[in-house]
Chain A
Amino acid sequence: MKEYEIVIGLEVHVELATKSKIFCGCSTAFGGAPNSHTCPVCTGMPGSLPVLNKKVVEYAMAVGLATNCAISPQTKFDRKNYFYPDNPQDYQISQLYLPICRDGFVEIDVEGKKKVGIHEIHMEEDAGKLIHDETKDCSYVDYNRAGVPLIEIVSKPDMRSAKEVIAYLEKLRILIQYLGVSDCKLQEGSMRADVNLSVRLRGETEYGTRTEMKNLSSFKAITRAVDYESKRQIALLESGQVVEQETRRWDDEKGASFTMRSKEDAQDYRYFPEPDLLPLLIDHAWIETIKAKQPEFRDEKIKRYQTEYQIPEYDILILTENKHTADIFEATVALGANPKKVSNWIMGEALRLLKESEKDAKDLCLTPAHLAKLIELVDKRVINNTTAKEVFEVMFHEDVDPEKYVREHGLKMEMEDGQLEDMIRQVIEDNPQSVEDYRNGKKKAMGFLVGQTMKATKGKADPAAINRILSELLDN
């Protein structure tokens, strides 16, 4: 078989986390009774008019700057006309002719670094939701999501494999999360990706006919869909057939895609400039203000961590995957805590507890001062590691001050060596068998005796001290 190359471009929709909708003051909050977050504007009432939410523009600019785009000095909205009940005005306000951002790129690293070009980023409004009632044979529409702001990031056809697609999406997701403008969840639809794919013989300079694939709700689905679609297209070409330009729908359960509409059925959206909104002028000063607010992104952070903190590469990658955990890490270290110890707490206990409580890293509620104090308590042997883990769990759930908590719950190791020695002597006396085992070379018996001592001290003793005293008493 001839060797084929897969060519992929993505259209990524990202829901922006503004408090209010793009063209009215209604809340963007999830939930709420159907149509409770609506007004004349987002239900398309006759006579209503859109007013642009400035925050949406700033979020779009921030994403544009983060992806090395040029910000248009003049940007305009256009109407995309089509009939569907989830679209209350029967047109969507979007941008066709003068999108806000153009000509950017992001760098990905899959078997070597490469740039994926960004053709444009534009702003638009989301549609409502249709709810079909099969029993009554009718449909309802909920406009709570209508008017929620979206940006669409259109890449150039620069990707050549599913791995590159995933790397590109991961890159976008982390950039956007760092900016705090969206939580980018594929499963929940706050990030949606449509895949444009074509194949061509390796070495060919012209692109093949592409198809567009929709309904991809996980990275796994995207990988499978890319694999399926490239094989389908290659098989068509190999058998002397042609690829039809069409929109296809991915069915993850069936593991296959199906024609949604062919080129002939493509709608004519009759785009034209939105007369209800004036062209938006973006001056240099405004761009500079947004630029000044850009955070340190992950790539820069990774580089800095490598020189600034003595922690392993693996720790760096995990800590920086989410800006929030990186922020906690840095703030705690800034308070004087040991970087590796901080990293251990975040990567170990914090991530374990997050997973356990099915929470996102961005929801981690951990006060750096508290974490620093906890580490100090262990360092100063005020509490032992086991107690520290218990305290940490309380901190994780209730954000308590560990010092105060230890004091109020009497968790401090208060044993003087003399008092501890007395208790250990008692343990030795109560467990002659273990003592004998130990002296006969069964070193494991030591662990049992330490455990018995800890039990007797109700965990308030320093395990290191128990070990030291036990060894002294047993070895003499």
Chain B
Amino acid sequence: MDINELSALELGQQIQKKEISVKEAVEASFQKIEEKEPTLNCYVTTDYEGALLQAEAVQDRINRGERMGALAGVPIAVKDNICTKNLRTTCSSKMLYNFVPTYDSEAVTKLKNAGLIILGKTNMDEFGMGSTTETSYYGVTKNPWDITRVPGGSSGGSCAAVAAKETFLALGTDTGGSIRQPSAFCGVTGLKPTYGTVSRYGLIAYGSSLEQIGPIGKNVSDCAALLELIYGRDVKDSTSVVECDASPDGSFMGMLKEDVRGLRIGIPKEFLAEGLNEEVKASVLKAAHGFEENGAIVEEFSLANVSYAIPAYYIIASCEASSNLGRYDGVKYGYRSKEYQGLTDMYRKSRTEGFGTEVKRRIMLGSFALSSGYYEAYYLKALKARTLMKQEFEKAFAKYDLILGPTAPTTAMKLGENLQDPIQMYLGDMDTIFANMTGCPAISIPCGMDSKGLPIGLQLMANCFREDTLIQAAYAYERFSEA
């Protein structure tokens, strides 16, 4: 049996039954890492020794007969913008090349309590800013399906690691599509939960009002199991909502049933419009047809004000980023320029040398949009556009249980293709940013291949707090599309 071929839940079961030891699982992952990393570069930091120590401790707990969850002993990779105590966390930036957190993020604490084994920290676009993982200071990650192509981003390392079986599961973060788009490009499943349902405590902030930590796995079941672990209210995060406390244990695993009868699914015409790759469109429509065949009610509808989505999103994200990234000033931690004269010079040089081009572009964009005289024209207007989008989605979810569309307008691009043209890169977020602007949950699941042999992603969105609907529909799709 090749351990790496198992799903996370299958592995968890084998570990519970003591068919496979936790150490064997960890060794299997590291074998794959050793084999693939020189080509793919999914990880910024791997922690072999730490993983073995964790494995030993978890094995002890299992052997003592401690009741543990379905994922106990399963190796997982964590995106490098999620704080891990005593394990370097860089956000793929030179700015944090030496930053070792003094505390665990809430999500990681939950993973550790549940006995998952952290293999290392995965590569990403610097501070999450990018859609290709090419803005990383630590080199690009390559798409396991075609190493001349990008894995998508910003959680490119996490998605590529799952696709290449360098881990069984991964945590990603999604500010504008950063879990879903690389999941689509890498042919894995990734879910962005409702804003406020997974604690952001310990997630290094980029766009605070937009981002969530979410699960990435080989299939819907694995994602559901991991989501169940990290979901829930955290008093350390003031934006974490009380509503998610209502979900009883097992609510997501319990949704893994093959039934979409009577489900109302809407497809926004705008998601199928100009700019969408024909092969992607065909796959998505085929998936929609599949839902219909299995008893769902599918229809097209129109979303208003779609053209404002991308500019509004980039203003809000950049404004928040310009403030969130202020703290990287060379004073307390991280990179400090070697030579400087006085405080202002230290700030200027440290930030000039420590940040990459895309990060600097967004800090400047955000600082400009927030500056006095422009605040009303940009930031306030973007907030208003966001409110309109929320209203538009409320209307849509009054009619539909799910909104279906492509995760990204294309499949994975060639390395370097998008880097020269940031506007083109921003436009690629068109399908994913609505879930961040409105806070609703969304999932990307594989829905076939294009003629180049590259995976295509299908995106489903549900109303806030309806991860259950999302998981059930995605799981059902996974089943009937296999058949």
Instruction: Give the segment of B56-64, B94-102, B407-415, B430-438 that binds chain A.
Output: B94-102
Residue in A47, A88, A270, A271 whose beta carbon sits within 8 Å of that of B367 in the complex: A270
- In the complex formed, the residue of A with least CB distance to B367 is A270
Task: Let me know if A45 and B102 touch, CB within 8 A.
Answer: yes
Q: Which positions 313-349 of chain B face chain A at CB distance < 8 Å?
A: 319-320, 322-323, 326-327, 329, 331-333, 343, 347
Chain B hits for A47, CB < 8 A: 82-83, 101, 105, 200-205
Stretch of B369-377, B393-401, B451-459 with 4 or more beta carbons under 8 angstroms from chain A: B369-377
Q: Report which of B82, B200, B332 forms a contact with A88, defined as CB distance below 8 A.
A: B332
Check A52 against B238 for contact (C-beta < 8 Å): yes
Q: What is the distance, in angstroms, from B45's C-beta to the closest C-beta of chain A?
A: 15
- Give the contact-size bracket for chain A: 20 to 34
State which residues 1-51 of A face B: CB under 8 Å: 40, 43-51
Does A405 make an interface contact (CB < 8 A)?
A: no
Note all chain A residues with C-beta closer than 8 A to B319: 272
Question: Which chain A residues border B320 with CB–CB below 8 Å?
Answer: 272, 275
**Which residues of A have CB within 8 Å of B323?**
79, 81, 91, 270, 272
**B294 sits at the interface (CB 8 A):** no
Contact of A83 among B89, B205, B326, B333 (CB under 8 A): B326
Asked if B381 is at the interface (CB within 8 A of a chain A CB), the reply is: no
Expressed in whole angstroms, the minimum distance between the Cβ of A36 and any Cβ of chain B is 14
When distances are taken between beta carbons in the complex, the residues of chain B under 8 Å from A90 are 326-327, 329
Q: How far, in whole Å, are A85 and B202 apart by their CA atoms in the complex?
A: 22
Check B185 for interface membership: any CB of A closer than 8 A. no
- B104 closest partner in A (C-beta): A47
* Alpha-carbon distance between A91 and B205 when the two chains are bound, in angstroms: 14
- In the complex, which residues of chain A have a beta carbon less than 8 angstroms from the beta carbon of B329? 83, 85, 90
Q: Which residues of B contact A271 (CB under 8 A)?
A: 370, 375
Q: Which residues of B contact A40 (CB under 8 A)?
A: 102-103
Q: Are A278 and B238 in contact (CB under 8 A)?
A: yes
Q: Is residue B109 within 8 Å, beta carbon to beta carbon, of the partner chain? A: no
| A275-B208 contact in complex given A47-B101, A88-B327, A141-B331, C-beta closer than 8 Å | yes
1/0 contact string of A337-359 vs chain B (CB within 8 Å): 00000000000000000000000
Task: Count residues on chain B whose CB falls below 8 Å from chain A CBs.
Answer: 41
Closest Cβ of chain B to A273, distance in Å, is: 8
Q: Is the CB of A45 within 8 A of B103?
A: yes
CB distance from B342 to the nearest CB of A (A): 11
Check B370–A270 contact: CB distance below 8 A: yes
Question: A402 vs B90: C-alpha distance in the bound complex, in angstroms?
Answer: 68
A277→B200 CA distance, assembly (Å): 12
Interface string of B280-322 (1 = CB under 8 A from A): 0000000000000000000000000000000000000001101
Partner of B347, one of A46, A83, A141: A83
Q: Are B99 and A91 in contact (CB under 8 A)?
A: no
- Smallest CB–CB gap between A301 and chain B, Å? 40
A49-62 interface bits toward B, Cβ cutoff 8 Å, 1 = contact, 0 = none: 11110000000000
Residues of A contacting B367 with CB < 8 Å? 270
Contact: A89 with B205, CB < 8 Å? no
Q: How far is the CA of A45 from the CA of B83 in the complex (A)?
A: 10
**CB of A268 within 8 Å of the partner chain:** yes
Q: Does B379 contact A (CB under 8 A)?
A: yes
Q: A79-B323, A268-B372 are in contact. List 11 more A-B contacts (CB 8 A).
A: A46-B89, A46-B96, A46-B101, A46-B333, A47-B202, A49-B201, A49-B239, A81-B322, A85-B331, A270-B322, A278-B238
Which residue numbers of A lie inside 8 Å of B, CB to CB?
40, 43-52, 79, 81, 83, 85, 88-91, 141, 268, 270-272, 275-278
A-B pairs with beta carbons under 8 Å apart, 12 shown: A46-B89, A46-B91, A46-B327, A47-B83, A47-B205, A49-B237, A51-B238, A81-B323, A83-B347, A89-B326, A89-B327, A275-B209
Question: Closest 9 interchain pairs by CB?
Answer: A90-B326, A270-B370, A275-B208, A275-B209, A46-B204, A47-B202, A47-B83, A47-B204, A85-B331
